[in-house]
Structure 1
Amino acid sequence: MADSQRTSEPINFVHQDEIWKAHVKVEKDSAEVWPNKWGFLTETYKEYERESVKLKETVRMKLPHHLAARPPTPPEKPIQVSPSPAVPQTTQALIGWRSGPSDFQLEKYCTVHHGRRSFLKELGWPFDSCN
């Protein structure tokens, strides 16, 4: 198809039509031959579907009571969300504009304290080994 998009070379429509007819013929012949050659896969797939339905039904019946779905518990203390500030004028100010002010308190429990770790230090390699 990319060759037919070229404007510098003349296009042979008859040749392209013959190529298309050959492709369609191959597809049609393949569709006729497929059931004889690979049709057994459809029966195998149907058997697999029947078995999987049976297994799903047995699993549903044998589900222990402690794994059954429970209704969600309401939170002990309702979460209050204050209104957002005005949208910033610049796109650079959009980064963190809702989480920046302390009024919103987006951290539910407290601030996040992750220690700074070094991959090189964990492996016992010198710091200048990866530049």
Structure 2
Amino acid sequence: MADSQRTSEPINFVHQDEIWKAHVKVVKDSADVWPSKWGFLTEAYKEYERESTKLMEAVRRVELPHHLAARPSTPPEKYIHVGPSPPVPQTSQALIGWRSGHSHLQLEKYGTVHYGRRSFLKELGWPLDSCN
């Protein structure tokens, strides 16, 4: 990639082509030799797949006790209630945060957030201008 950014030296296209041909030849030769060197892995993988399917069949046949069986999921409408939205106000920022201004829409289900209200300096009893 650094070669393509150099503008002071001329590019030798024949040399670049020879390098590309060498790369393609190495990849092709590697693909031809791979089965003789690493072909045993394909058999091991096929054996693993056969064992895996046998185990999955055995697992499917086992019945779970009643207390471990999965219950059907409850639809979200049963426990999440969102009130209807009021009309969008006619302002320049009408679409940003217009629901958050209404307390009856209950966007904050668990109350207001109180993170980051503590000061490390106050906990140590230091004056606030001690670290600048």
Calculate the TM-score normalised by the size of structure 1: 0.67
- Please, which runs of 5 or more residues in structure 1 have no aligned partner? 121-125
| Shift of residue 5, structure 1, vs aligned partner | 3.9
SS in structure 1 of the partner of residue 37 of structure 2: helix
| Shift of residue 103, structure 1, vs aligned partner | 2.0
SS in structure 1 of the partner of residue 60 of structure 2: helix
Q: Residues 27, 99 of structure 1: CA spacing in aligned structure 2 closer, same or farther, 3 A cutoff?
A: same
Q: Residues 35, 111 of structure 1: CA spacing in aligned structure 2 closer, same or farther, 3 A cutoff?
A: same
SS in structure 1 of the partner of residue 103 of structure 2: coil
Q: Which has the higher contact order (CA 8 A, sep 6+)?
A: 2
Q: Identity of paired residues, percent?
A: 62
Distance 1:35 1:43 in 2: 11
Distance 1:38 1:77 in 2: 56
**What's the CA shift string for 1:7-35, capped at 9, x where partnerless?**
22201000000100100010011001111
Q: Which residue identity lines up with residue 60 of structure 2 in the other structure? A: R
Give the alignment's Cα RMSD to 1 decimal.
3.6
- Please, which runs of 5 or more residues in structure 2 have no aligned partner? none
Distance 2:4 2:116 in 1: 59
